[in-house]
Chain A
Amino acid sequence: MSGRKCGKQTVKIDNVRVAASAAIVGNKEAEGPLGEFFDITLPDSEWNETTWEKTEAKMQREAVRLAVVKANRRLDDIDRVLAGDLLNQCISAGFGLRELEIPFYGIYGACSTMIEGISIGSMLVCGGFAESVAAVTSSHFCTAERQYRNPLEYGGQRTPTAQWTVTGAASAVLESGVSVGDIAVTHITAGKIVDMGVKDANNMGGAMAPAAYDTITAHFKETGFKPSDYDMIVTGDLGSVGADILVEQLKADGIDISKNYNDCGCMIYDAEKQDVHAGGSGCGCIGSVLCGYLLKEMRKGRIKSLLAVGTGALLSQTSTLQGETVPGIAHAATFRMIDK
């Protein structure tokens, strides 16, 4: 062993930096509290495409292009791209990235895909298997609604625990070599699938909170870090219900994250004004908040250390119809601004 393993779930990463990141969002997200931080806002839900699936594919492609340009690279310089999304067979990734001609691994972690991509990408770079890796993911409200729920014009009511799928794509470019002023990826904690038997597909925050709890507990135990070692701790898309549960459950174990914790699903929208019930969800949720907002704040030095925990609900419409429960997954990554 190389000595990078610290515990069963966590690995230590050396010499990997986030060279650049980019986020593309829809109108609703741009109108939210973080609107000013995103790189591109779609002019409308189609973005000159004939179907929303094509729109989402284009969002992934453009997010990669933009992140690569911001990293001062050409597409040719990227050794691997790790991509995934919510649509069946990950078609946004497959169709969106086919013309980029970058060696491609498709990944799926539901809404945790961004952190999953960064995790695997960091290990590839750290292990010397690639110099430069792009991780990308996306979600689109209109494509997710029709796949998981009802047609857009169907007259249904959302429950108070329901979450709103973020229209957003995000990409991060990981490279080897860390110097002062860089954002380094230092630790990766891989999550286990945790299923507490929640059956309500409209309460995904509640279904995923135990997974986030499990991963965060493992992270602190295996790294020896305390919540106060981080300027900020974020989860992907637990929404107001799941976030509340997470804080309470960790507190019961003596881990107090309430001071520096937030959930991307709660950050991206103004829940009251934008009528999103429990908050945002989707791959693009933590994706765009991390790549659009948090990493930029780190680059400005406002956040020095960040624990980002992507959370995913590993359900499908078939499993829901068959009465299955909702398994949750959470992956965590530590980002640290190198200032000396």
Chain B
Amino acid sequence: MTFVNAFWVGGLICAIAQILIDKTKLTPGRILVTFVVAGAVLGGLGVYDKIVDFAGAGATVPIVGFGNVLVKGTIKAVREIGAIGILTGGVEAAAGGISAAVVFGFLMAVIFNPKSK
């Protein structure tokens, strides 16, 4: 069942992005920024975790989930270590993804070259 929910919830989030692409003048960059901030806000309100429980990867794989991870990490750190957690918690929680993006990004860019279209 989680697979079905992952499919339609993940698909729905992407479909919303597509509507924004086609119907507004928003660039893909702005849409991603909007989504990640939306994820942070929904995470801060504690709503997003309910979607994650329901849809699994359908909620964690879209970039919205990244905002949620950041804010959850921040809140957890604030609770545990106080004000300093405002700045350490978010990136700490997302460290795996950020480092993976930098390291794999670097490796792939070294190995491969862009192909002409």
Q: Is A–B contact present in the complex under a CB 8 A cutoff? A: yes
Q: Are A156 and B28 in contact (CB under 8 A)?
A: yes
A157 within 8 A of B: yes
Could you tell me how many residues of chain A have their Cβ less than 8 Å away from some Cβ of chain B?
A: 12
A272 within 8 A of B: no
Q: Are B115 and A152 in contact (CB under 8 A)?
A: yes
Interface size class of B (residues with CB under 8 A): under 10
Interface residues in chain A, defined as those with a beta carbon under 8 Å from any beta carbon in chain B:
44-46, 52, 141-142, 151-153, 156-157, 200
A200 CA / B24 CA spacing, docked (Å): 12
A141 CA / B114 CA spacing, docked (Å): 13
Q: Report the tally of A-B residue pairs with Cβ distances under 8 A.
A: 18
Hey, which chain A residues are within 8 Å of B28, CB to CB? 156
A200 CA / B25 CA spacing, docked (Å): 9
Q: Could you mark each residue 1-34 of chain B with 1 if its beta carbon is under 8 Å from any beta carbon of chain A, else 0?
A: 0000000000000000000010001001000000
A151 CA / B112 CA spacing, docked (Å): 14
Q: What is the chain A residue whose CB lies nearest that of B116?
A: A45
A152 CA / B114 CA spacing, docked (Å): 6
Q: Are B117 and A141 in contact (CB under 8 A)?
A: yes
Hey, which chain B residues are within 8 Å of A152, CB to CB? 114-117
Hey, which chain A residues are within 8 Å of B21, CB to CB? 157
Hey, which chain B residues are within 8 Å of A156, CB to CB? 28
A46 CA / B113 CA spacing, docked (Å): 12
Q: Could you mark each residue 72-89 of chain B with 1 if its beta carbon is under 8 Å from any beta carbon of chain A, else 0?
A: 000000000000000000
Q: Pick the contact of B114: A44, A151, A157, A200 (CB < 8 A).
A: A151
Among residues 78 to 117 in chain B, which have CB atoms less than 8 Å away from a CB atom of chain A?
114-117
16 further A-B contacts with Cβ under 8 Å, apart from A141-B117, A152-B115, are A44-B116, A45-B116, A46-B116, A52-B116, A141-B116, A142-B114, A142-B116, A151-B114, A152-B114, A152-B116, A152-B117, A153-B114, A153-B115, A156-B28, A157-B21, A200-B25
